[in-house]
Structure 1
Amino acid sequence: MGGRRASAAAAIALLLASCGGGEAQDKKGGRGPSGPPQVGFVVIQPSNVPVVTQLSGRVTAFQSSEVRPQVAGLIRKRLFTEGSIVRQGQTLYQIDPSIYEAQVAEAQANLQSARANAQAAQTRAARFRPLAQMQAVSEQEYTDAAAQARQAQAAIAQNNAQLRTAQINLRFTRVPAPITGRIGRSLFTEGALVTTNQAEPLAVIQRTDPVYVDIQQSSAELLTLRRALAKGGAAPTRAVVRLTLEDGSDYGQTGVVEFSEVTVNESTGTVTLRARFPNAEGILLPGMFVRASFAQAIDTQAFLVPQAGLSRDPRGNATVYVVGPGNRAVARTVVAERTEGGYWVVTQGLAAGDKVIVQGTANLRPDIAVRPVPATTPQRIEPPKKSTGGTAAGGQAKGG
């Protein structure tokens, strides 16, 4: 029994010695993990990257009209439902027409009187004409008669205009909708007295399909963009706008920037950009606060670097590793202020053709030797090789 234990202990000791010698041999020969680490790289080239801007904005109605009376009087009826859709020309209020109907009747009577006077004056002038030629009446009498006939015709025109004015005022007693849209609450009730110069409107109509979104951009940002366009580092583009609603959700439909103001607001230092959006479902309401994201230009000299290849130091500076001369890792400080999908947009610090390391970056240090391969190359993982000494030792142990 004691002999077997001694033999087994000797075999185990020999096996451990054999394994230790193998590890020492691997370290001495350089076949182990002491070689340069394998890293994956991508070759970067300039890309056309949209310059995306995020700004705040307010929704405004596509059309807005205040319903105001054009004649004075008492409101007899309100002929619409508050909050409903009204059509252009639809009667909204009925103002008491009594006084205006009387004015129309008076104007009609005055016009008839003027026409009668004109007929008498024209007949008198026609009779005086041959008499004046025969010198039966003086030329002055004929001249006066002809002038009275022309004055009578002018009186007809004046009374006709007064009649049209009275008819227009009578028509204004039925207050129509100036535009098609959704009408709000009525600010005046039946029996209220309204005038043509009152401060408050009767109601407000707004057209909300489509709608406008007024976006505020600082004049400094706009100036920077225009300088970039002038230098050739950016190209203009048609701005397609996306909206983020107040609850953080995406609106789902895109709009287009239609124009930009030509003046800067002196109190805020901003320029207003106006975008147009479809709003068939009525989700966007006038006065609503939104966030607008859109591309004002295309950066033609930016580089897209996978996010795995960029890190930041404690100061917040962006850093990437590139494959330098002699296959050594070189740290580069770059400018990367925004992302585009799964990439960082690098605007400074890199050049076309640089090999940016995006795999195996965990243990990288500046100026260490690396074994670079394209990032798409799969890593080969081989099982450990069995040493001869270990097999022999195992045989001895088995034999013991």
Structure 2
Amino acid sequence: MNKGVLMVIALLASSSALAQAPMGAAPYVQVDRVTTGKDKVTRRSIGRTEAIRTVRVSSAVEGFLMEPRFKEGAVVNKGDILFEIDPIRYKAAVQQAEASLDELNARIMHASARCRRLQSLQESHATSREETETARALLAELTASKAEAEANLVKARKDLADCTIRAEITGRIGRVSFTEGNYITTGEVLATIQQMDPIYVKFPLSQSDVNGIFHGPKRIADVARPQLTTATGRSYPKDGVIRIVDTALAANTDSYNLWAEFENKDDVLTPQGIGALTITLTDTAIVTMVPLTSVQYDANGAFVYVLDQDNRVQRREVIAGNVQGRMQSIYSGLEEGEVVISDGSHKTRVGSVVRPVFTSNAETKTVKGNTMPQEDAPTAVRIADVIMESDTTVLTCEGSQVEAIRKVDIRPLVQGLLIEQSVNDGDVVKKGDVIFRIDTVRYEAAVNAEKARIEQLDIRIEDARRKYERQEQLVKGGASSADERDSAKATLDQLIAQKSSAEAALVVAEDDLSRCTMRAPLDSRIGRVSIAQGNYITDKKTPLTTLYQTSPIYVRFSLSENEVLSHFGSDSQLLKMADISLVTANGKLSAEKGEVSFSDNSIKSDTDTQNFWATFPNAEQQLLPGAVVTIRVSRKPECKVCSVPPEAILTDTRGRYVFLYRDGRAVLTRILCGSSTASGRIPVYAGLDADDRVITTNLADLEDGSPVVAQQPEQQQQ
């Protein structure tokens, strides 16, 4: 048969088919009617944790910092002593202020007695009015000076009290900025305390949601229940309470910022961590419901295809709510009884006519007003026990930084010629070793002058005391007046006050003399010496050198929030469970093991990582501040984790999950897991308990809540 004949036959067949099927026949689509049901209306948002209160601990006075009273990373209570500034000069200042006030009181007593005596003499015309007025003016001047002296005493006592620095709040204290032996100036921040329990989560919520669903900013706290999902994907066990709604919308977002408060007794949440908020309306709402397959999404959000009375397809944008089994709650956009396409929408377009086929009533049943498919027959599955094993997963932290635990700047604090330099750059010194010495001649002279002044005052005090005692006897015998006695007493009190002031000045002079000799406040290594012997020191606060404690030593490393929570549960648990090893810059594994000492109080929001400090003995002082090393973090062998067979684990866009076997049902459970253990099983850090059992077969046939029947459990190797 030639090609022409074949072509004719094909054309005839095509014409016959077209004659039998009308052009543009409407396609069949599966449809369902919109029903109603009960639902908890929810909204979701992404938030960050914030400390409710943050206090930067600073000094209100300057002086040498004494040993801190806490461990870095510890929880401190309100009122606890944190730091002390050397109080010696402030005690002397109080003594001098008290002495000045005592001296003024004595002078006022003397001036009062003189005024009374002159007033009496003036009445008998034995003295001039001018002399009396001069005495009164002096008394008034002294009385005014007393107010100033009292104010100076209040300030001196406050300065002395400020030498003891206490915690203003209860919270966790972080890394100290300055260690013992440093000279602190006024206002320098020494450490930061953050309140960790309870804790805030700050999150945005649209104006329409706040005003529409949750009844406005004033009522949202009463009708909304916030729930938190951490960075690991796990639900936080405690619900929160909305405490604050911002007074204005955030710029360019049409949203309110809100703050929800959560209990945080186990330190799972760390400031600046990220989390997902689900905000649920506490009142149950009646909502419309459609099959899950009806709801589609694009860049504008959720939508469905609705049929009008002529079976013409319309697109309808909706606000989708919660999923209930195979049904989807719709918060707005649909009315009960409307018809939506649940399957076959790909065969249509907006405005086209379709032929609807309703879901058969025989295949469906109604549960509390919601249309749900009938339950399938149980699926036969095998199950395996969750067992506890040691975890061999290692987290590698490259770029970790070596830091001195203590660093002290050596400042002269007195002026003079630098006559002795006992160290060179890089020397190792012991606590108490002399490092520098400034010429002491002027300072020794100042000490001797104050001592001589005190000796002179002692002589004058003894003479004044004899005169006062003689006046006492004369007054008793009627040979002298009370004013004369009071004047003698005032002179004695004035000299005693001057001696007290001189003793305080001696303390300051002796402290200046002691500052001429600078000693190492700790076993350490000398840094670069900035001013050499022979120079005249004028700037008292410029460091001459810096001392670094190198044994033991810190190494600072960072882990992501997800790594901390998934592998250890919280930063406080990491401190107990982590096994720390170190690899030097040349790739050599150190024989020394480290211990995690403390963590940063907050997560760095730009990297979502948290800093930790591990302490290494550094007995050979191979590690020096500023070096870059690699830290390896694993769980201690005794800190076991749940493990499951690898075939039990499934993955979707939200992460990994397993099906648990519970009461004849498959229960979908989200997990966080690592790489395989020595036995080949997979460690699970979150989501499972030791007595759980997981399904290992026919997983593709299961969904959350599917009925299952267990076959013989697999044998476990303990």
Global fold match (TM > 0.5) = yes
The offset of 1:113, in angstroms, is 0.8
Aligned to 1:341: 323
* 1:319 paired residue number: 305
Shift of 1:331: 6.6
Deviation at 1:228, TM superposition (A): 4.4
Q: Could you tell me how far apart the structure 1 residues matched to 2:248 and 2:229 are?
A: 27
Distance 2:89 2:186 in 1: 15
Identical aligned residues as a percent = 26
Contact 2:39 2:322 in 1 (8 A): no
In structure 2, which of residues 54, 75, 87 is the aligned counterpart of residue 97 of structure 1?
87
Q: Which amino acid counterpart does residue 117 of structure 1 have in structure 2?
A: R
Secondary structure of 2:241's partner? strand
For structure 1, list consecutive stretches of 5 or more residues without a partner in the other structure.
1-38, 380-400
1:287-323 superposed Cα distances (whole Å, 9 cap, x missing partner): 1111112147989784233537x3659998523679x
Indicate how the Cα distance of structure 1 residues 371 and 64 shifts in structure 2: closer, same or farther if over 3 A, else same: closer
Say whether residues 1:80 and 2:70 are aligned partners: yes
Shift of 1:123: 0.8
2:260 alignment partner, SS class:
strand
CA distance in 1, matches of 2:119, 2:334: 104
The residue correspondences of 1:13-52 to structure 2 (distance < 5 A) are 44-45=35-36, 50=41, 52=42
Distance 2:265 2:145 in 1: 55
Give me the whole-angstrom Cα distance separating, in 2, the residues matched to 1:168 and 1:314. 66
Amino acid at match of 1:152: L
Q: Which residue of 2 aligns with 1:71?
A: 61
CA change 1:250–1:332 in 2 (3 A) is same
TM-superposed deviation, 1:352 = 4.1
* In structure 2, C-alpha distance between the alignment counterparts of 1:371 and 1:197, rounded to whole Å: 75
CA drift of 1:370 comes to 6.8
Partner residue in 2 for 1:282: 267
SS in 1 for 2:196: strand
Q: 1:184 to 1:311 in 2, by over 3 A?
A: closer
Equivalent position of 1:397 in the other structure: none
Of 109, 116, 120, which aligns to 2:110? 120
Structure 1's 143 and 188: CA in aligned 2 closer, same or farther, altered over 3 A?
A: same
Match of 2:202 among 214, 217, 230: 214
Confirm or deny: 8 A CA contact 1:41 1:372 kept in the other structure: no
Partner Cα separation in structure 2 for residue 175 and residue 143 of structure 1? 50
Matches within 5 A, 1:161-172: 161-172=151-162
User: How many residue pairs end up in the alignment?
Assistant: 327
For 1:254-333, list aligned pairs within 5 A. Answer: 254-266=239-251, 271-295=256-280, 302-307=287-292, 310=294, 317-319=303-305, 333=315
* Structure 2: runs of 5+ lacking an equivalent: 1-29, 346-352, 367-371, 374-718
After TM superposition, the score normalised by the length of structure 1 is 0.67
User: Given the superposition, is the C-alpha separation of residues 115 and 140 from structure 1 closer, same or farther in structure 2, using an over 3 Å criterion?
Assistant: same
TM-score, length-scaled by structure 2 = 0.39
Question: Which residue, out of 224, 230, 234, partners 1:249?
Answer: 234
Q: State the partner residue of 1:202.
A: 190
**Cα distance per residue 1:176-217 (max 9 Å; x no partner):** 22222111121111111110043xx11111111000111134
CA contact (8 A) 2:318 2:333 kept: no
Relative distance call for 1:354 and 1:180 in structure 2 (3 A) is same
1:47 and 1:304 in contact (8 A); partners too: no
By relative contact order (CA 8 Å, sep 6+), the higher-ranking structure is 1
What residue is the counterpart of 1:131 in the other structure?
A: 121
**How far apart, in 2, do the equivalents of 1:183 and 1:245 lie?**
23
User: In structure 2, do the counterparts of structure 1 residues 311 and 49 end up closer, same or farther at CA, with 3 Å as the change threshold?
Assistant: same
Counterpart of 2:156, as a letter, is: A
Provide the aligned C-alpha RMSD in A. Answer: 4.4
| 2:47 match: secondary structure | strand
- Asked if the contact 1:256/1:277 (under 8 Å) is kept, the reply is yes
Alpha carbons 1:332, 1:349 under 8 Å: kept: no
SS of the residue corresponding to residue 223 of structure 2 reads: coil
